[in-house]
Each structure stands twice: as structure tokens, then as C-alpha cells.
Amino acid sequence: MNRTEINTKNAPEALGPYSQAIRIGDLIFTSGQIPIDPATNTLVSGGIVEQATQSLRNLQAVLTEAGSSLSDAVKVTVFVKNMDDFAKLNEVYGSFFTEPYPARSCVEVARLPKDVLVEIEIVALAK
């Protein structure tokens, strides 16, 4: 089965030796996206609401480049620095997804790249 690399200038460049996403068969696997504004290559200011919003916008851009969208997401994994932010994170998340919602895991972690508050990755269906 062929693997196809997905990259777009509308999302932050990879911070290391990895791709923004890989398509294999009918699935797209994104790398985790953190709240970097691709226009300025800097972290967005603010708290969990602003950071989750930017992370999801970055994922939208990657999926769009792959010919997919957030509505095609089947599994989302959220890494959050503080589980106390869970309710605010859910509000933002709910504004990006509609029913039927993708399966999701949310895990509190000790630290994320660049000390951000959230990182999100998605597995989506390819169109």
C-alpha cells in the first residue's frame, strides 16, 4: 500500500523529522498540531481556548490539503497539560465538530513541545 506525505504551508512546518500527515489507503493520519500560527510561525497568545482553536485550525488546514476535512475525522487524540481545562477545551472542540462526533481520547500530560497547553492529532477518512 502506498504512503503519501501531506504537507501544507497553511499549517506550521514540522518541528522535527516527521510529516504533517500521511495518507495510507483510505485513512489520513495527522501528526499532533500545537498552537503555532503558520503565518507568523509563533505560538498564539492566550489560554486553552485560543490554543485549542489554533491547533484545530492547523488540523483543518492539513486535512484540507489531503482532500479531507474535520467532518471526516474518525478518531481524535487530545493531549492537554491541565485536565482542569477540560470543560473549556470541550467548548472549543464542540464548535469544530458535529454529530456524529469522532471517537476521542483526552490525556493529561506533564509537558508538550514548546510548553504549549494542548496538542491534537486526528485520524480521518480520505475522500
Here the cell at position 48 is 486553552
Strand-pair partners of 108: 80
Nearest one of 78, 62, 74 to 100, comparing CA atoms: 74
Distances (CA, A) of 39 to 86, 87, 93: 28, 29, 22
> Where in the chain does DSSP place strands (E)?
3-6, 21-24, 27-30, 36-37, 42-43, 73-80, 103-108, 118-125
42 counts as catalytic: no
Catalytic residue among 22, 49, 70, 106: 106
Q: How far apart are CA 120 and CA 31, in angstroms?
A: 8
Catalytic residues: 106
